[in-house]
Structure 1
Amino acid sequence: MASAFTMCISCLRAARTTTTRASKPFSTAASATARPLFLDFLAPAIRQPFKRPAAGIALPKPQPVLRRRLATEASPTTSPSDPQPARAVLHPRTTESGEPMGISLSPRAIHRLSTIATKDNNPNLALRVSIESGGCHGFQYLMSLIDLAKEPATEEDTLFEGDKGTKVIVDESSLELLNGSTVDYTMELIGSQFKVTGIPGATSSCGCGTSFDIKL
């Protein structure tokens, strides 16, 4: 007589699971093709080795880097340090020794004055430069843009003309102190402005450059 064997449901499920796992063979191919964990973002970049081009093949030439030129910059063919003497076209003056008095204009000043005159469509635009006593160093020069059609030059004024039709007007007493100087245009952190540089006889000046001492 066969003996009866009883098993609870939990034991029966455990026995079936064990039998199923034992019946499946271990796959070595799956373990061989499994990709190992690799944190590629932590690994150093792999550089490709440099390959020399074959003979007769020229390397591409580097393209020039284009740079925008500011409107206040001088033309690439000129240098800001090369002032150009202006021509006295009205009421020229001479020194006691008979030498002509004059001033020079930097390429930057010429470019800026020409740009303003073209923008305003006013060929009569001129830069008036005058010197008066005052300031923190005894003398100071003042500058202003004027329209010669509305404020024509007087007999005491000397009108200078530079390239591109630029015009600078200086009165007689101021010209005696500015003779041999240069009108320049500079761009600084505090702003862009016209300046007078190289004033003969100037011994010192303030930080802004508009006030100076002069040896008379």
Structure 2
Amino acid sequence: MISLTDNAVSAVKNALSQASGAPTGLRIMVEAGGCAGFKYMILLESTQRRGDLVIEQDGVRLFVEGRSQSLVSGLRIDFVTALNNSGFVFENPNAASKCACGKSFG
């Protein structure tokens, strides 16, 4: 199961309300890459694909890509606003290591 903090829920709802094309949720995927081996990919999405796990939390729909499900099980997503930048922060219990920026894990 993936969980979103209140800040992440607000950020996703804000992005969905401002997006063109009427997306209905957030797609979460993991791809090879980044400095630690895997990187998170987050996209606004309007369609459930075959193999997706669909999770709804506080009015936000998450589409978890099939091949990524085992890598993100237990993932906690937060949204942090800082002086220099803002963005999603991932806390993944499956990560043996992660890069300094927190966007890549191994």
Q: 2:42 aligns with which of 143, 149, 170?
A: 143
1:173 aligned counterpart, secondary structure: helix
Residue equivalent to 2:64: 170
Residue equivalent to 1:129: 28
1:116 aligned counterpart, secondary structure: helix
1:203 and 1:181 map into 2 onto residues whose CA distance is 13
Structure with greater strand share of residues: 2
Structure with larger Rg:
1
8 Å contact kept, 2:16–2:44 = no
TM superposition shift of 1:134: 1.6
Deviation digits for residues 47-91 of structure 1 (CA, Å, limit 9, x no counterpart): xxxxxxxxxxxxxxxxxxxxxxxxxxxxxxxxxxxxxxxxxxxxx
- TM (norm. structure 1) is 0.45
Residue equivalent to 2:74: 180
Within 5 A, what are the aligned runs for 1:71-150?
102-120=1-19, 124-146=23-45, 148=46
8 Å contact kept, 2:54–2:63 = yes
TM superposition shift of 1:188: 2.5
1:122 and 1:161 map into 2 onto residues whose CA distance is 20
Within 5 A, what are the aligned runs for 1:7-22?
none
8 Å contact kept, 1:177–1:200 = no
Residue equivalent to 2:52: 157
Q: Give the letter aligned to residue 99 of structure 2.
A: C
* Residues 132, 116 of structure 1: alpha-carbon distance in 2 compared, 3 angstrom cutoff: closer
TM superposition shift of 1:133: 1.4
Off by >6 Å, runs of 4+ in structure 1: none
TM superposition shift of 1:192: 1.2
2:88 aligned counterpart, secondary structure: strand
Residue equivalent to 1:204: 97
| Relative contact order, higher structure (CA 8 A, sep 6+) | 2
Percent of residue pairs bearing the same amino acid type: 32
8 Å contact kept, 1:110–1:166 = yes
- TM (norm. structure 2) is 0.84
1:206 and 1:189 map into 2 onto residues whose CA distance is 21
* Residues 123, 107 of structure 1: alpha-carbon distance in 2 compared, 3 angstrom cutoff: farther
Q: What is the root-mean-square deviation in Å for CA atoms of aligned residues?
A: 2.0
Residue equivalent to 1:21: none
Deviation digits for residues 145-203 of structure 1 (CA, Å, limit 9, x no counterpart): 23x1xxx111111121111x211111122111100111211112342112321x12312
